[in-house]
Amino acid sequence: MDSSEQPQIYLSTPPVFELSGFPDRLAAVLDAHPVACLRLDLASRDEDAISRAADLLREIAHARDIALVITDHVLLAERLGLDGVHLSDAARSVRGARKTLGPDAIVGSACGTSRHDGMTAGEAGADYVSFGPVAASALDGGETAPPELFRWWSEMIELPVVASGGLSPETVAELAPFTDFFGVGEEIWSQDDPVAALGLLIAAMG
């Protein structure tokens, strides 16, 4: 990526949210800030609940020309008319998802902190890879994706890369020259004002 280009926002939903209130919060964020892609990232395994959420969010996203992908549920992505899938098992499912969803679907791969997994995902046909977390938290194993990984990737690999997990204005400012997207989620939804929280992260890009 040319370092003069500002990264774009790849926004994820919270793992749990109420359909009665979250769509309005989401719409406010999407209307206030440019978002390149939205990911439905529910922790639920309830197919009906996921489908209802996807139907609502698809309307909100597509009305704003924003692609909607879903975490891992390849068959649901196909059935619900979503734009693609974000796979959380590194490169293992990329080929199968591409075969199921076709050449025009978005297929992304979360590769943790592994350069090797990222390259394997790219070779398997992923449209982007995601590395993270970029900062440690008590919920993670302590391993983080260092700035050097993103710097190397931006210099050596053309495949778009997403930086996610533990983003702060400081990490955003540091990684902005070396990443194509920032994967933002709980960083803003845990705040009282997600519109303002996302604005701070965007401002940190420089």
Q: pLDDT by residue (tens digit) across 129-179?
A: 999 999 987 656 678 999 999 999 999 999 999 999 999 999 999 999 999
DSSP-assigned beta bridge partners for residue 129: 109, 161
Question: Quick one: 127 exposed, middle or buried, by C-beta within 10 A (0-12, 13-18, 19+)?
Answer: middle
65-108 pLDDT per residue, tens = 999 999 999 999 999 999 999 999 999 999 999 999 999 999 99
Phi-psi region of 200 (alpha: psi -120 to 50; beta: other; left: phi over 0): alpha
Can you read off the two tokens belonging to residue 112? 């943790």
- Cβ pair 110, 116 in contact under 8 A: no
Residue 8 has pLDDT above 50, yes or no: yes
For the chain, which domains are there? Answer: 8-203 (3.20.20.70)
- Cβ pair 185, 137 in contact under 8 A: no
What does the pLDDT average to over 184-195? 97
